[in-house]
Amino acid sequence: MSERDRGSQAGDGNGGAEDDDGERAGILDGVTVVDLSTFVTGGFATTMLANQGAEVIKVERPDVGDDSRHSGPPFVDPGDYDGPGTVANDNGESPYFWTVNYGKRSVELDLKTDAGLAALYDIVEEADVFVENFRPGTADRIGVGYEDIRAVREDVVYCSISAFGDSGPWRERPGYDLLVQGTSGIMSVTGEEDGDPVKVGLPQTDLITAMWAAFGVVCSLFRRELTGEGDRVELAMHDAALPWLTKQAAKAFQGEEPGRMGTRDPVIAPYQAYPTADGYLNVGCANQKLWRELCTAIGREDLFEDDRFATNPDRVDHMDELEAELSETFRERTTDEWVDRLADEAGLPVGPVNTVPEALASEQTEARGVVTELDHPATGRMKALEHPLNFAGAESGFEEAPPLLGEDTEAVLREAGYDDERLAALREAGGIPDR
């Protein structure tokens, strides 16, 4: 939480069913997370925890902050803002940074100084979770390894994220989403059949890893409730991506080599995008009943009677012919016309291939309240993406915008017991910025 309008959040460790006023609270209300990670893997993981009520304290390098604060364009002009915290980028605030840092507090600490490291330990004394995504060995070298943090908070849940993990011949290699999309096999099955390997158009392995990390943290918190013991959660981006191969891995285990298929599916047909008069239509008919209903709804009963398409295995074996037949028919109408006719009237699993702006502005997105707005201290009202979990007995969601760099430094340290004299000494020692 931040100085803007959030006070200190005290938790009672009861799982967050109700707050002090008997109102619904977040499931992780009362859980404090110290986050030393940068970019997406740790950032999105702790954002998931913040969405469920955890207080996330983001520890950042003085005057620089998280590298994603500098990712762009676009950037948003902060205007003449002169409140607590600073804009780390001369170009302005990064909307990319915003998307993985909603609802956190930002503290600037120079961990290369003894004073800065000691201040971190003071904050950790009251923390439940510690997250880092340094290359293996780095955390120990700079004094924030598992044993260092455990010495301060014995029952801490400590999460380590790296590209390739603490063991194995690739342990020392650096890694980013692009590299892991390659090492995990994802790129080999993405793209057109006769084309080059293609990177998924979003940081998929970063986000996959982040979700595993958040899941691991919550599992360890649950175990701590049962045993009173903390734990270390260690995971690698490469490992995290492999279980998502599912059907492609199943084929590989049977001696087959999955390849690129465009929008096609290796085991179901029709299950792909088809061109329409003005765009593309996704069609997913995963059983024989749906196939019959599709043929009837588009006026192509002849396809249902065609021996080449009699069963799903037959259709998979004759995908080229099936695609040609269906493409010819779907080109006769616009995407919206087909969606009205097939999805709304016939109840069939078809849908448009939207652009990102169309997806964010669709009537379904609006009805579900996925896109919301938050008050940013420097840029005013900003759009934000809510997370999808909705509980009957607990609150979830973001109430605060992403923090400016160092916005909460003084407030968090005061909560950790620092008075004016100690804060002045910390500044003098270079642990926090002198501003």
Q: Which of 66, 206, 231, 408 is catalytic?
A: 206
Q: How far is the C-alpha of 108 from the C-alpha of 110, rounded, in Å?
A: 7
The phi and psi torsions of 162 (rounded to 5 degrees) equal -145, 175
Could you list the beta-strand ranges (E) of 244-318.
271-275, 280-284
Sign, CA torsion 405/376/125/206: negative
Which residue bears the tokens 């396809």?
303
The phi and psi torsions of 398 (rounded to 5 degrees) equal -100, 135
One-letter amino acid for residue 367 of the chain: A
Q: How far is CA 16 from the centre of its chain?
A: 23
Q: How far is CA 371 from CA 78, 351, 382, in A?
A: 22, 20, 10
HEC-encoded secondary structure of 124-164: HCCCCEEEECCCCCHHHHHCCCHHHHHHHCCCCEEEEEECC
Residue 211 is encoded by which pair of tokens?
A: 């979700």
206 assigned to active site = yes
Q: How far is the C-alpha of 294 from the C-alpha of 303, rounded, in Å?
A: 10
Please give the positions annotated as active site.
206
